[in-house]
């Protein structure tokens, strides 16, 4: 495993990280197996943004006795309310959620205290002024968080974070498709007919983001490196061509300032597929040739199963419903195993009341209510 300096934090982190989001749907033994395989591979950085009590406890049990070998990204502003994820800037609710994170992970400090998910101007204003920021600074002053980070999908917000002087690193969504997108709320855009795999071909605001973060020595850890697995499937890829985990990881690690790729894993085999990067040949890492020969370069508003759409007033697990819908829709008939998983969901797509509150929180402009209607019909 190779290790990289995470900007001004000076932490030396493994270039392949553990984005623990998918552990949310696994029991303790399964979580332990994934984390154990990651440890064996030399992975030493873990992101836990999820507020769910069970996944936090499972991670804490899995790293018990080995806390010092992990650098943990823990999020401030991700809370558990009424049985589901809710993003908030209410300082007292954030305090309760963060103390719960510490307790369940079995630690008295978090290496990277992440200001959670700021994509819009109003998000910035709520987070960067008043009691919420006071609480973040209190944690830093007391040493409860060692460094301040921020998570965002918007390059303009990442630039502003770097310019604050106190944000030391950013968790940002990076992959070849997202890097071509301009920083707008409506991501249903079409790309041109040519693709330049060099940095010069990336959207200009993202170029400026990479440059600004590098100037300020603000390190980057990458989320969404696989676009929810969509880049592995030529039929679902925005490019009409499939990439491998190694190629996606190589793309991320060739961006300026990137220290670690926080890939998500359902199984130990998924860890192995990512860690294969460490021994891959130049030919195996070559994403540019694939994209240069791709038949098209289009990206519509597609779900990457990140879960930021929650909370749902009727408690639909939107990310899981969309994942099962995607798995079902690429087959001529709905596979029995996928239907079984869907039927086991406590709340299904047909419960959607089309309030569209989730759509206002989606960083990628997915028309969720429309998808729920299509999914309900698909599984009917």
The Cα 224–Cα 219 span in angstroms is 17
Q: Tell me which DSSP letter residue 35 carries.
A: H
- Nearest 5°: the CA angle 17, 19, 22 is 140
The Cα 265–Cα 25 span in angstroms is 11
Dihedral sign for Cα 49, 51, 52, 56, please.
Answer: positive
Residue whose pair of structure tokens reads 């873990």 in the numeric block:
46
Written as six digits, the tokens of 209 are 């983001």
The Cα 266–Cα 320 span in angstroms is 13
Q: CB neighbours (10 Å) of residue 95?
A: 17
Q: In DSSP terms, which residues pair with 151 in a beta bridge?
A: 171
Contacts of 89 (CB under 8 A, 6+ apart): 77, 126, 127, 130, 132
The Cα 162–Cα 2 span in angstroms is 25
The Cα 203–Cα 217 span in angstroms is 21
pLDDT digits (tens, 9 = 90+) for 69-90: 999 999 999 999 999 999 999 9
Q: Closest Cα to residue 157, out of 145, 170, 147, 166?
A: 170
- Nearest 5°: the CA angle 312, 314, 316 is 65
- Nearest 5°: the CA angle 208, 209, 213 is 115
Report if pTM > 0.85. no
Boundaries of every domain in the chain = 3-299, 318-379
pLDDT of residue 202: 63
Which stretches in the chain have pLDDT values below 70? 180-202, 296-301, 304
Q: Please tell me whether residue 48 adopts helix, strand or coil conformation.
A: strand
Q: In DSSP terms, which residues pair with 9 in a beta bridge?
A: none
Q: Tell me which DSSP letter residue 238 carries.
A: T
User: Using an 8 Å Cβ cutoff, are 167 and 149 in contact?
Assistant: yes
Say how many CA atoms lie within 13 Å of 133 toward its Cβ.
Answer: 14
Written as six digits, the tokens of 217 are 């020595």
| The CATH fold of domain 3-299 | TIM Barrel (3.20.20)
pLDDT of residue 291: 74
Burial of 198 (0-12, 13-18, 19+ CB in 10 A): exposed
Checking DSSP bridges between strand 258-264 and strand 16-19, what pairing results, if any? Answer: parallel
Indicate the Cα dihedral angle 40, 41, 42, 48, nearest 10°: -90
DSSP count for the chain of H helices, then E strands: 15, 14
User: Using an 8 Å Cβ cutoff, are 374 and 163 in contact?
Assistant: no
pLDDT of residue 191: 30
Q: What is the CA radius of gyration of the chain?
A: 20
pLDDT of residue 196: 39
Q: Please tell me whether residue 113 adopts helix, strand or coil conformation.
A: strand
């Amino acid at each position: 495993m190779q290790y990289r300096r995470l900007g001004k934090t000076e932490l030396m982190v493994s270039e392949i990280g553990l984005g623990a989001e998918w552990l949310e749907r696994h029991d303790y033994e399964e979580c332990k197996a994934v984390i154990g395989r990651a440890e064996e591979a030399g992975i030493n950085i873990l992101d836990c943004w999820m507020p769910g009590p069970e996944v936090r406890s499972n991670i804490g049990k899995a790293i018990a006795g080995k806390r010092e070998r992990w650098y943990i990204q823990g999020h401030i502003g991700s809370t558990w309310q009424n049985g589901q994820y809710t993003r908030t800037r209410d300082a007292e609710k954030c305090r309760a959620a963060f103390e719960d994170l510490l307790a369940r992970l079995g630690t008295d400090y978090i290496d990277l205290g992440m200001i959670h998910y700021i994509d819009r101007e109003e998000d910035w204003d709520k987070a960067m002024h008043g009691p919420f920021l006071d609480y973040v600074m209190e944690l830093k002053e007391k040493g409860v968080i060692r460094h301040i980070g921020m998570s965002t999908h918007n390059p303009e917000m990442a630039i502003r974070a770097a310019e604050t002087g106190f944000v030391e690193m950013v968790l940002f969504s990076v992959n070849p498709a997202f890097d071509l997108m301009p920083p707008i709320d409506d991501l249903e855009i079409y790309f041109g007919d040519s693709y330049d795999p060099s940095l010069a071909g990336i959207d200009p605001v993202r170029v400026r983001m990479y440059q600004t973060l590098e100037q300020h020595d603000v390190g980057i850890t990458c989320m969404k490196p696989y676009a929810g697995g969509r880049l592995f499937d030529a039929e679902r890829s925005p490019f009409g061509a499939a990439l491998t985990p190694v190629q996606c990881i190589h793309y991320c690690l060739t961006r300026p300032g990137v220290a670690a790729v926080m890939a998500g894993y359902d199984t130990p085999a998924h860890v192995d597929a990512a860690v294969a990067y460490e021994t891959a040949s130049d030919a195996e890492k070559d994403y540019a040739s694939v994209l240069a020969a791709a038949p098209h370069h289009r990206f519509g508003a597609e779900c990457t199963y990140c879960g930021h759409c929650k909370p749902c007033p009727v408690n639909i697990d939107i990310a899981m419903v969309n994942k099962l819908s995607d798995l079902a829709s690429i087959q001529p008939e709905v596979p029995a195993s996928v239907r079984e998983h869907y039927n086991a969901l406590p709340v299904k797509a047909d419960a959607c009341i089309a309030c569209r509150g989730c759509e206002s929180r989606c960083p990628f402009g997915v028309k969720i209510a429309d998808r729920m209607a299509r999914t309900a019909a698909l599984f009917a």
